[in-house]
């Protein structure tokens, strides 16, 4: 047991002394992953709405794609993005490999299928009668979509939580396309890998605790939104 206790003690004294440059790492993590989640929401919610509301062959194929995409190995995404952005790759002229935008691109690709699939599930659980009624009362397609998405907002909160949780704790892809450059692309997960490779288990464990706490805080906030939404609905 002493390996945990000693490492934790060492880790927290490092955190307290500010010797880990930890805030810089946490801020980079947040900046990259929040940007990626926002982009994924903008693209993933409309996609999820289409998949969850229309019935067609395309819809079924799309759902299969989105569900399969949830199991997309991040390391394969990382490899594909790294090859594409490399100086020898098709988008090499932009010099984007080993930068924050490269990390955002990889994280968006990882989280879009998640957000689309969870949104689709939430939208398809909205009673069909409600939407038909809205249409019969003269609502446009857009108004119908807005109404449906509003009804499905609990599920959307789950979509945000799933997407954010997946990418902020992902390490393979961000290591490959970010490069773990100090002060630039070093995020919590890549720093944890680095410290454990260096045998500095204390520092690695301390960052792990910070990462876990952040995921918990985000989920407390999102769950709070869900339950306050329920209260609001009951009136």
Judged by the rule CB under 8 A, the positions of this chain that interact with another protein are 3, 55, 63, 86-88, 95, 97-98, 124-125, 128, 175, 179-182, 184, 186, 190-191, 194, 196-201
CB of 5 to another protein, least distance (A): 15
CA angle 191, 194, 198 (to 5 degrees): 135
CA angle 94, 31, 28 (to 5 degrees): 85
CB of 194 to another protein, least distance (A): 4
Cβ closest to another protein, residue 88 vs residue 141: 88
Cβ closest to another protein, residue 184 vs residue 233: 184
| Interatomic CA distance for residues 87 and 92, integer angstroms | 4
Q: Where are the alpha helices (DSSP H) in 20-171?
A: 22-53, 57-70, 74-85, 100-124, 128-136, 141-151, 153-168
Cβ closest to another protein, residue 69 vs residue 179: 179
| Pick from 181, 189, 210, 235: nearest CA to 23 | 210
Cβ closest to another protein, residue 164 vs residue 195: 195
Cβ closest to another protein, residue 182 vs residue 223: 182
Crossing angle (nearest 10°) for helices 22-53 and 188-197: 130
CB of 219 to another protein, least distance (A): 26
Cβ closest to another protein, residue 122 vs residue 218: 122
**What's the farthest any 2 CA atoms get from each other in the chain?**
68
Contact, 162 vs 115, CB < 8 A? yes
Q: Hey, what long-range contacts does 73-76 have (CB within 8 A, 24 or more apart)?
A: 73/172, 74/106, 74/110, 74/170, 74/172, 74/173, 75/172, 75/173, 75/176
CB of 204 to another protein, least distance (A): 10
CB of 88 to another protein, least distance (A): 8
CB of 63 to another protein, least distance (A): 8
Contact, 165 vs 40, CB < 8 A? no
Cβ closest to another protein, residue 36 vs residue 96: 96
CB of 26 to another protein, least distance (A): 16
């Amino acid at each position: 047991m002493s390996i945990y206790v000693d490492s934790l003690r060492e880790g927290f004294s490092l955190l307290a002394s500010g010797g880990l440059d930890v805030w810089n790492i946490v801020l980079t993590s947040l900046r990259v992953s929040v940007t990626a989640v926002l982009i994924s929401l903008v693209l993933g919610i409309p996609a999820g709405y289409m998949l969850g509301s229309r019935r067609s062959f395309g819809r079924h194929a799309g759902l299969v794609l989105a569900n399969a995409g949830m199991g997309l190995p991040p390391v394969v995404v990382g490899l594909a993005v790294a090859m594409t952005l490399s100086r020898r790759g098709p988008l090499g002229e932009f010099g984007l490999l080993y930068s924050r935008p490269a990390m955002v691109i990889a994280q968006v690709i990882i989280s879009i299928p998640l957000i689309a699939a969870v949104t689709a599930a939430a939208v398809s659980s909205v009673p069909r009668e409600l939407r038909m009624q809205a249409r019969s009362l003269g609502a446009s397609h857009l108004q119908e979509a807005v109404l449906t998405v509003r009804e499905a907002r609990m599920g959307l909160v789950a979509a945000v939580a799933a997407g954010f949780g997946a990418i902020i704790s992902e390490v393979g892809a961000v290591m490959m396309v970010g490069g773990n450059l100090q002060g630039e692309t070093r995020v919590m997960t890549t720093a944890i890998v680095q410290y454990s490779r260096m045998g500095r288990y204390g520092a690695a464990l301390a960052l792990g605790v910070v990462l876990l706490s952040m995921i918990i805080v985000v989920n407390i906030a999102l769950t709070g939104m869900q339950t306050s939404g329920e209260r609001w609905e009951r009136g």
